Each structure stands twice: as structure tokens, then as C-alpha cells.
């Protein structure tokens, strides 16, 4: 399934995307005289576990014929997880990205955090802060945790992943490099576009075979495949959970491939008026315009 958080007539709803339509899960549950609570938000849905997932599948089976379905053109998709508890990101996790920097691949995952206030939607504006901080794009496969986990092994790790989505790890390179740590440069408001929906794990049997790319104003600047990940999805969940409890709705961004703007010759940084598209096979595309700080 493709589970989306969307706005319709001023209300934020949770739905299942059915081709060119989206089913309001809470509305459909109410009409079917079942409990709508697990479908009141993405977080409630994830906390509902397998029972909520099964309930959504049942409602979606006849969803196109229900009055609680809306044309995709009439709704606005927002970030699938509007306010995650944590965003854990991984640096230098593609072999080709290490090569373009001229550095050795890391021997263990390199973790950093993006603040939840950086989250924005799949078509929302990326706002460049004042001070010309050299804003860059980074296409990333993101996974969303579906069950609380601590110290899980790699073979069991995927059982704790609810699904996958597209993420753009927007970065202010001037601040990232000047600070000698990455939190400020990675956590500016609007610097974490996600979506366009959460694709459940059963729809992606192998997350390590997906084409991933970035286009800026229609020009392809990143073009790679998740098979080049150094540390795979299950390894990352296991490694992170060894020291950090992961909870439903937490997001793990798995790293970016080669082609980022800062290492191009000459460098390419985002500017107001640009349009950034990040696409991952089977998961969809983010379409984010870029604006200046006056757009706040």
C-alpha cells in the first residue's frame, strides 16, 4: 500500500493512494462502523501495528467505490510523517559518493541528526536561509520505523520497518563545513522534504535494487542505485538500535549517492526559482520549488 497524509477542505487526513484517487481511511472506517482511531494520523496508524495495517488493506480493497475517496488533484499531499520523533541520517553511505570526495568508505555507519522541524512536504517550498549558506540537494532512500525496537539483530531488523519513502537531505554546506558538525547545516526549516507517501515494506521486497536520482530544473545531477549502499537497511536498523531506541514514526535517511552540488566542477547550489525533483524507483517523486528567506 501507499499510505499518505493529505489535506482536504482544511482537514489533515490519512489515506491509501489508489492510482489517481485517495481513500480517507478514518472516514471509511466510520462508514463501515469500525474504529477510526488507528487511522486518525500516521503515528496512530504505525502504533496500531499489524491490526491497523490489515484494517487499511480491507478498507482499500473496495476503496475506489467508497464515497470517502477523493481525486488526487483535489487534495494536497503533506509529509507522510508530519512530526517524527527522530530523524537519524547516515553520512558517506554510498561507494560512489565516497569516491567523488576522495575519501575511504567508513568502517561503521556515520550517524547525524536532522531536527524534526526540518520536515516539509513533497511539493512544499525549500526556503534558503539568509546568508548564502550554499544550499545543496541529496537524494536519499528513507525508511520509517513501525515498531519500537532496541538492540535488534540485522536478520530481524526489517520486521521493525513499516515502509519506505523518498527524502531530500537538503544541506547548507557553508554552515555544515564551518561548524565541523552537521546539525545546523542539515536542520534548517524546510530542509527535509519527504514523501510523496509511505510505501509499505511488502511492496518493496528488496530496497537495495532501486534507481535513485535528482533533477534540478529538469537536468539530472544524481543518477545511481541503492545497490551501492555501503551499509544496508537491516544493518543500519541494527547498528542504530544498539544505542538508540527506535520508535514508530522515526525516520532513518540512508545516505546519498554521487552527484551532489558541492563536489561538482564548478559547484552547483540551489537558488530561488529552481525546482528540485528527487525520484526513487517504486516510491515516487518529490517536486520542491526553491525560494528565498523572504518566503518565510
Residue pLDDT, tens place only, 188-209: 999 999 999 999 999 999 999 9
Higher-confidence residue of 204 and 292: namely: 204
Q: Would you tell me how many other CB atoms lie within 10 Å of the CB of residue 1?
A: 18
Question: What pTM value is reported for the model?
Answer: 0.96
What are the pLDDT digits (tens) for 210-242?
Answer: 999 999 999 999 999 999 999 999 999 999 999
| Omega before 221 within 30 of 0, i.e. cis | no
Residue 70 reports pLDDT greater than 60: yes
pLDDT computed for residue 231 by the predictor: 97
Residue 98 reports pLDDT greater than 80: no
pLDDT computed for residue 95 by the predictor: 81
pLDDT computed for residue 50 by the predictor: 95
- Give me 191's grid cell: 530542509
Residue 77 reports pLDDT greater than 80: yes
Residue 101 near residue 266 (C-beta atoms within 8 A): no
The least confident of 42-51, 89-98, 271-280 is: 89-98
Q: What share of the chain in percent tops pLDDT 90?
A: 89
Q: What is the mean pLDDT of residues 57-74?
A: 89
Q: What share of the chain in percent tops pLDDT 70?
A: 99
Residue 277 reports pLDDT greater than 80: yes
pLDDT computed for residue 295 by the predictor: 39
pLDDT computed for residue 104 by the predictor: 81
- Domains delineated in the chain: 2-77 (2.30.30.230), 87-295 (3.90.850.10)
pLDDT computed for residue 131 by the predictor: 87
Q: What is the mean pLDDT of residues 108-134?
A: 96
- Give me 266's grid cell: 564548478
pLDDT computed for residue 66 by the predictor: 81
DSSP state letters, the chain: -EEEEEEETTEEEEEEEETTEEEEHHHHHHHTTS--GGGSSHHHHHHTHHHHHHHHHHHHHTGGGSTTEEEGGGSEE--SSSS-S-EEEEES-BHHHHHHHT-PPPSS-EEEEE-GGGEE-TTSPEEPPTT---EE--EEEEEEE-S-BSS--HHHHGGGEEEEEEEE--EEHHHHHHHTSSHHHH-STT-EEEEEEEEEGGG-S-TTS-EEEEEETTEEEEEEEGGGBSS-HHHHHHHHHTTS-B-TT-EEE----S--GGGSSS-----TT-EEEEEETTTEEEEEEEE-GGG-
What are the pLDDT digits (tens) for 16-59?
Answer: 999 999 999 999 999 999 999 999 999 999 999 999 999 999 99
Higher-confidence residue of 34 and 97: namely: 34
Residue 246 reports pLDDT greater than 90: yes
d(CA 275, CA 290): 6
Angle at 69 between CA 279 and CA 192, to 5 degrees: 30
Q: What is the band of 132 on the pLDDT scale with cuts at 50, 70, 90?
A: confident
pLDDT computed for residue 105 by the predictor: 84
Higher-confidence residue of 103 and 15: namely: 15
- Give me 33's grid cell: 462502523
Q: What is the mean pLDDT of residues 90-108?
A: 84
Amino acid at each position: 500500500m501507499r499510505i499518505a497524509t493529505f489535506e482536504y477542505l482544511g482537514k489533515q487526513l490519512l489515506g491509501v493512494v489508489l492510482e489517481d484517487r485517495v481513500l480517507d481511511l478514518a472516514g471509511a472506517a466510520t462508514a463501515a462502523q469500525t474504529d477510526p482511531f488507528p487511522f486518525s494520523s500516521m503515528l496512530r496508524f504505525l502504533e496500531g501495528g499489524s491490526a491497523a495495517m490489515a484494517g487499511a488493506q480491507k478498507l482499500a480493497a473496495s476503496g475506489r467505490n467508497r464515497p470517502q475517496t477523493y481525486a488526487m488533484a483535489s487534495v494536497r499531499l503533506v509529509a507522510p510523517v508530519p512530526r517524527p520523533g527522530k530523524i537519524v541520517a547516515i553520512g558517506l553511505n554510498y561507494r560512489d559518493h565516497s569516491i567523488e570526495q576522495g575519501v575511504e568508505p567508513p568502517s561503521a555507519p556515520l550517524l547525524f541528526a536532522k531536527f524534526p522541524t526540518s520536515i516539509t512536504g513533497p511539493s512544499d517550498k525549500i526556503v534558503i536561509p539568509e546568508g548564502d549558506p550554499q544550499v545543496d540537494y541529496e537524494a536519499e532512500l528513507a525508511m520509517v520505523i513501525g515498531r519500537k525496537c532496541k538492540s535488534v539483530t540485522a536478520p530481524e531488523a526489517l520486521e521493525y520497518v513499516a515502509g519506505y519513502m523518498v527524502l531530500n537531505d537538503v544541506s547548507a554546506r557553508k554552515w555544515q563545513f564551518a561548524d565541523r558538525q552537521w546539525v545546523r547545516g542539515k536542520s534548517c526549516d524546510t530542509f527535509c522534504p519527504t514523501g510523496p507517501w509511505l510505501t509499505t515494506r511488502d511492496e518493496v521486497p528488496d530496497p537495495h535494487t532501486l534507481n535513485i536520482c535528482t533533477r534540478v530544473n529538469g537536468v539530472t545531477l544524481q543518477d545511481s542505485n541503492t545497490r551501492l549502499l555501503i551499509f544496508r537497511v537491516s544493518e543500519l536498523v541494527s547498528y542504530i538500535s544498539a544505542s538508540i531506541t527506535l520508535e514508530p514514526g522515526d525516520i532513518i535517511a540512508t545516505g546519498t549517492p554521487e552527484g551532489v552540488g558541492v563536489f561538482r566542477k564548478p559547484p552547483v547550489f540551489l537558488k530561488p526559482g529552481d525546482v528540485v525533483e528527487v525520484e526513487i524507483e517504486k516510491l515516487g517523486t518529490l517536486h520542491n520549488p526553491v525560494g528565498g528567506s523572504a518566503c518565510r
